[in-house]
Structure formats: C-alpha cells, structure tokens
Amino acid sequence: MWDYSEKVQEHFFNPRNAGAVPDANATGDVGSLSCGDALRLTLKVDPENEVILEAGFQTFGCGSAIASSSALTEIIKGMTLNEALEVTNQDIADYLDGLPAEKMHCSVMGREALQAAIANYRGEEWKDDHEEGALVCKCFAVDAVLIENTIRSNGLSTVEEVANYTKAGGGCSACHEGVEAILSRVLAEQGKTFDPYTRAPEAAPSAGGRKLGNLERIRRIERSIEAIRPNLQRDHGDVELIDIDGKNVYVNMTGACVGCQMASTTLDGIQQRIVEDLGEFVRVLPAKAMRKSA
C-alpha cells in the first residue's frame, strides 16, 4: 500500500471543512466523475478586503484527493485572494508532509479548483484550456497547458512523472507521444535533453516496507483483477489477465466490455485498484496494445 504520512491519514479520516460553505460567494468545479476525480471548492469571501473567511470542499476521489482538499481549505483560510493564488500544488503536498508520487495529481486538482473559485468570485471565466486540439489525454481530459505548467512548476522529466502529477498517460497510453513532445520542448528550453528511456526515481521504501518479489507481485495483480471481475460480470462483461511486462499489465476485456464506450474508464478503474493493492505505479493496457508494441 502507499506510504502515506500521518498527516495525510489524519486529513483523510478527519477531513477539515468538508461540505459546502453556507452563503458561499465563490465556487470552483474541476475534474469530472467520468475521469475518476472531481472537486468542488466553495469560499466565503469578505467583499471589503477579499479575505477568505470560510472554505469548504466536496470531492469524489481517493483518500489523497480528500486529504489534499482538506489541506487546501486550511491553508487558504485567512488569506486574501491574491495570496491564495500564489498557493501551489507543492504547497499542498508539503502541508501534508508529502504525497506519494503517484498521487500528486490530487494536489494539482486542488490548485485548479482554487483558481476556478477565485475567477468565479471576480466574475471572470476560468478556462481549463480544453479547446479543440489542445486535449492531449482523452482518457482523463488533460490538456497541453496543464501538462506544460505542471512540468515546469515541479521539474518533471519523464512520462511516468507526468502521469503521477496529472494522470495524463495513465490510461490507454495513446497520448504518450504528445506528452513526450511537450517534455522534449520544455526540457530543451532548459538546456536539457529528453530521454524516453529515463525512469522516474523510485521513492524510498518506508521503514517497515519491503520490495515485493516477482511471484508475490504477480499474485497481488491477479487478486486485484479477481476482486473486480464480479462487478463486470454483473453487467455481462469480464476481464482476464494476459501478461505482465514490467510496469505494463495487459488484460483482455470480454463480453459486454468489448467495444463499450466506457471501456477506457473501466481500464482506469482496474488500474487504480491494482496500483492501490500493489503500492507502485503500473499501467493497465488492452491486450491489443501488447501486439502493437511487439
């Protein structure tokens, strides 16, 4: 399982400022249920000095999303709107004594919700830049601007890091070429060269943690998939494990899951379950992707 800090666990089990703020005069919505994460941030702002008096959140997502949203509301209370705009996703992670690399996208979502709420208060239109041609990752609706800004502000250099921070590329992998192009351009501006074969640095294991052996790793992946199958079978679909190649887990969708419009969302759900059970980043791909890469 993830090596969560005590502060992350505290904000997950006892979230601060959960729920909508009564008489809020600012609201920010980001994400979508179909993409797996959604956050609504509500604020009560003093119109005389633009100080944030109250902040509340409603979120659909994992424990890290809840903890990040809770932390954000605590950070910004008492700030002016201009001060709050200076809050970064790294500030949110630092407040929680760190987040697992694979969960950094939760802090990015919090920052975006804050920007959207402040724009709403000021009567401005907050745009997420999901304009025609700007959408890079269709699985999670992540645009080029968010990817580029996140790369720059967090010093990212690999596709895996981008997936950890934004979820882009964590689904079907069709957008990896687009993510690599953005990485190449940003790193070139910094006098660096993008190497597609460079791996993201692995987080140090926790004090009581240990690295899984290959056999135990395979068994955990198998158990994760077996736990998901009954839900798919109830809808006349199914999934079977085909192969495991490093960080790639290849599965075959059958029955009603074949050609389903929600297939990519289903794969993301399988991937999230495996990642949570395994405690490491993996990518779940359809078996046909294995044949293409062969």
Q: Is 35 a catalytic residue?
A: yes
Fold of 6-122: Sufe protein. Chain: A (3.90.1010)
The helix, strand and coil proportions of the chain, stated in percent and rounded to the nearest 5, come to: 45, 20, 35
How is 233-283 classified by DSSP, letter by letter? HHTTEEEEEEEEETTEEEEEEEETTTT-TTHHHHHHHHHHHHHHHHTS--E
Say if residue 241's pLDDT is above 80.
Answer: yes
On the question of pLDDT at 221 being above 80, the answer is yes
Count H helices and E strands in the chain, helices first. Answer: 11, 8
pLDDT tens for each residue of 270-285: 887 787 777 777 788 8
Which CATH number, 1.10.3720.10, 1.10.10.1100, 3.40.50.1100, 3.90.550.10, labels domain 129-208? 1.10.10.1100
Q: For tokens 């890079």, what's the residue?
A: 136
pLDDT at site 76: 96
Which of the two residues, 174 and 115, has the higher pLDDT score? 115
User: pLDDT grade, residue 235 (50/70/90)?
Assistant: confident
Give the residue-averaged pLDDT of 236-255: 87
Q: Is residue 260 part of an annotated ligand binding site? A: no
pLDDT at position 21:
95
Q: Which residues are CB-contacts of 262 (< 8 A; sequence separation ≥ 6)?
A: 34
Residue 35 marked as a ligand binder: yes
Per-residue pLDDT reduced to its tens digit, 38-50? 899 999 999 999 9
280 Cβ neighbours under 8 A, 6+ residues apart: 102
Q: What pLDDT band is residue 205 in, cutting at 50, 70 and 90?
A: very low
Distance CA 209, CA 68 (A): 24
Active site annotation includes 106: yes
Q: What is the pTM of this model?
A: 0.58
Given 24, 30, 35, 274, which residue is catalytic? 35
Domain residues of the chain, as ranges? 6-122, 129-208, 214-289
Establish whether 257 is an annotated binding residue. no
Q: Residue 28's beta-bridge partner residues?
A: 41
Which string of b and e fits 30-59 if b means at least 16 CB within 10 Å? bbeeebbbbbbbbbbbeeeebbbeebbbeb
- % of the chain surpassing 90 pLDDT: 31
214's tokens: 């290959």
Is 167's pLDDT higher than 70? yes
CB 21 within 8 A of CB 109: no
pLDDT in tens, 49-104: 999 999 999 988 778 889 999 999 999 999 999 999 999 888 999 999 988 777 88
- Position 36 pLDDT exceeds 80: no
Instruction: List the one residue out of 38, 36, 66 whose CA is nearest residue 268.
Output: 36
The catalytic position among 55, 75, 101, 106 is 106
CATH homologous superfamily, domain 214-289: Fe-S cluster assembly (FSCA) (3.30.300.130)
- Residues 173, 138 contacting (CB under 8 angstroms): no
